[in-house]
């Protein structure tokens, strides 16, 4: 086999143009499959990086549009709902209530209009929001409704260009009422899942000073594990539908969103990779045509080998190895080219590079299979040649 492989390389050298054209279809097919799957994986990773890894165990519940029906009931996110939800739905670790405010924050001559969230004790820690400086809200802060505020990194930089926001006093305007707050903490620059608020205050303050006995604007249901969050979306939605009689509550989770996006991206990548793989089949047909021509040109060589004692199996193996050698070389070049182009494309797009080892192995193996499959017919033709006819050609 080694001797046949060396002979194949020598034949390739003698017919450089023909060999190059044979390699081209294989190289393009393998490279295209790797580039497409790499871009799909990179896009999926970019989505995951955008949302971050925190909050994968959180299911968000909020009021949606409700069609008017006589038997429909509007859900109020009060303490009764929280307790009933916890008692009737499995796999819930904890339920958090949150209220949203449109506010204006002012420090000196600098003002910023921003979204503010009134959250319960432990909410920020649950979302794995790390502090850059200061401290989280305490139980006392929430229970007594202390006028403390935690800012995101970007908001703190806007209000305090000189830095050192922690401990400073700022003014907060909500519903045309002004309150004084002390900055007790600044969050690190980070991705925090579906949480989009840029400032946080204790919900205890919201209940006492802004809206007594409020219903929550959003309910955050924490699953016992991230693996249960997708299932929890379904069970919570079914429970809310039983209460209202309609699908008037929005229930979703970041884990579900990521799974859906990943599924769509993977499906598109597979379809595009399948289209790209067609070029491998086209290249295989080209290899078969060229190998048939090669067999015709080398009839005398085949006749001499048979006259010297070579059996049909040896002749078949010789041409089969030659055909497979083309796709092995083309496959290797295609893998290297595909990885190189993928790195360049992801660098230009500013995305992290993700290469699928499976796509490299599968595309290379498929290219070798194509060489063997389409080279089999010419190899069998060569092995069945009569030595007398071959020598007289």
pLDDT of residue 52: 57
pLDDT of residue 48: 66
pTM above 0.75, yes or no: no
**Is residue 110 helix, strand or coil?**
strand
Quote the mean pLDDT of the chain: 83
- Residues 82 and 238: their CA atoms lie apart, in Å, by 15
The residue extents of the domains of the chain are 2-50+260-392, 95-215
Q: What is the pLDDT of residues 172-200, one digit of tens each?
A: 999 889 999 999 999 998 766 677 889 99
Number of Cβ atoms within 10 Å of the Cβ of 81: 19
Question: How far are the Cα atoms of 75, 85, 222, 238, 239 from residue 243, in angstroms, in the given order?
Answer: 7, 11, 21, 9, 7
User: What are residue 186's DSSP bridge partners?
Assistant: 133, 151
- Residues 27 and 31: their CA atoms lie apart, in Å, by 6
Q: How confident is the model at residue 117 (pLDDT cuts 50, 70, 90)?
A: very high
Least confident stretch, 47-56, 251-260, 368-377: 47-56
pLDDT of residue 97: 94
pLDDT of residue 150: 96
**Is residue 174 helix, strand or coil?**
strand
Q: What is the pLDDT of residues 2-39, one digit of tens each?
A: 666 676 677 777 777 777 877 888 888 888 888 888 88
Cβ 326 vs Cβ 367: under 8 Å: no
- Residues 90 and 71: their CA atoms lie apart, in Å, by 27
pLDDT of residue 279: 74
pLDDT of residue 73: 63
Question: How far are the Cα atoms of 24, 266, 272 from residue 278, in angstroms, in the given order?
Answer: 13, 19, 10
């Amino acid at each position: 086999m080694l001797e046949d492989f060396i002979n194949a390389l020598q034949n390739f050298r003698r017919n450089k143009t023909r060999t190059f054209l044979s390699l081209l279809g294989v190289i393009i097919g393998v490279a295209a499959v790797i580039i497409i799957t790499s871009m799909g994986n990179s896009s999926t990773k970019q989505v995951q990086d955008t949302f971050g890894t925190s909050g994968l165990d959180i299911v968000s519940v909020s009021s949606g549009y409700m069609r008017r029906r006589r038997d429909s009931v509007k859900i109020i996110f009060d303490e009764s709902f929280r307790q009933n939800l916890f008692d009737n739905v499995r796999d819930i670790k904890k339920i958090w209530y949150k209220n949203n405010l449109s506010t204006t924050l002012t420090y000196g001559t600098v003002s910023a209009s921003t979204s503010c969230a009134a959250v319960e004790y432990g909410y920020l820690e649950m979302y794995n929001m790390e502090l850059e400086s200061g401290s989280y809200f305490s139980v006392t802060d929430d229970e007594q409704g202390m006028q403390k505020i935690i800012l995101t990194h970007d908001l703190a930089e806007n209000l305090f260009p000189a830095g050192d926001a922690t401990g400073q006093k700022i003014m907060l305007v909500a519903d045309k009422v002004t309150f004084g707050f002390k900055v007790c903490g600044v969050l690190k620059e980070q991705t925090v899942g579906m949480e989009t608020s840029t400032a946080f205050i204790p919900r205890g303050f919201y209940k006492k000073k802004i809206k007594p006995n409020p219903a929550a604007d959003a309910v955050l249901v924490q699953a016992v594990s991230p693996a249960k969050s997708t299932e929890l979306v379904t069970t919570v939605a079914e429970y809310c539908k039983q209460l209202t009689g309609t699908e008037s509550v929005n229930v979703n989770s970041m884990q579900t969103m990521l799974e859906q996006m990943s599924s769509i991206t993977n499906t598109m990548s597979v379809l595009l990779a399948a289209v790209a793989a067609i070029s491998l089949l086209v290249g295989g047909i080209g290899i078969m045509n060229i190998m048939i021509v090669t067999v015709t040109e080398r009839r005398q060589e085949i006749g001499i080998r048979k006259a010297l004692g070579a059996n049909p199996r040896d002749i078949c193996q010789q041409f089969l190895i030659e055909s497979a050698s083309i796709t092995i070389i083309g496959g290797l070049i295609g893998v290297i080219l595909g990885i190189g182009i993928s790195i360049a494309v992801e660098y230009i797009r500013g995305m992290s590079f993700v290469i699928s080892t499976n796509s490299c192995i599968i595309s290379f193996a498929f290219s070798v299979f194509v060489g063997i499959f389409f080279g089999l017919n010419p190899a069998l033709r060569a092995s069945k040649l009569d030595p007398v006819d071959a020598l007289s050609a």
